[in-house]
Structure 1
């Protein structure tokens, strides 16, 4: 299957949005102020304690809310209608329709949404996984967690990308591994965005 540049980009961002939602779902319900403040600081969110962070995440008007992130993921699915199989597209639409407007429902279906995408063609799976693990790496570095497992997963993906036109990202990836920190991640992410601007 030959992906257009825009399709690869949409698949990548679909992976990032879903991983971002999955990450936040782990922390609901938020009750501990100290833990909430760690999230607020790491994610640069306009909140100050567990209650205000919960309110922000549940407010559909807030860009960082579950609803907004889920809507962005849905928009990417719609953009991929001609790429995804008819069965996957129908299943995803049903899941998004079911969960829309409810953070708890979104958290319930997020793993099922990911499973559908992971069962798609090799190219879809590859760029979806790239987005998913890049987001996981971002969160691990922001939360000052050990990124080793995520780096190992991305190394497998980087090897698979060698047959695509992603040279600048692959070079940046090798450099990042020498100094896996949030500061070097930003350079890696920039190179990745540029690489996804090249036809694949």
Structure 2
């Protein structure tokens, strides 16, 4: 799916994205101690479909940045690092089943389908907690996180935020949506 021309960036878009990512990487060294931008960029240049996914993360307000490196697989890990839940991904319910269950006042989209369309994964609760160790995120917003199957089968979904210098995990009906709730994603390159 991702090798289609639709998923290729123009030269200008690629160069702009590399400039943005490099600037963010250099500005936030605490997120990726010991990693070098040149190695990250080389990996991205060899994986254009991943570059397209990063572009989508950036386009929707996620401000993706490198937050780790997995030695076993040789993959760099990117998370959305915007201060608040990405603006272009808010006001959505959890998944397609939840979207289809609404009889009226349906949101435009859902977190799980949006993430899949972007070629990224929605953060798990554990990943969300790891992100919060790198800074203070979602002080005014909240973000859907990957919901355990048991909770989802019962109609619920899970979201997180940070209040009172503490990371909280909450639940809602999966069909609920709010202007201040979106989702954060991860990408392995």
Short-chain TM bin = 0.3 to 0.5
TM-score, structure 2 length as denominator? Answer: 0.33
TM-score, structure 1 length as denominator? Answer: 0.32
Q: Is the strand fraction higher in 1 or 2?
A: 2
Q: Is the helix fraction higher in 1 or 2?
A: 1
Higher RCO (CA < 8 A, seq sep 6+): 1
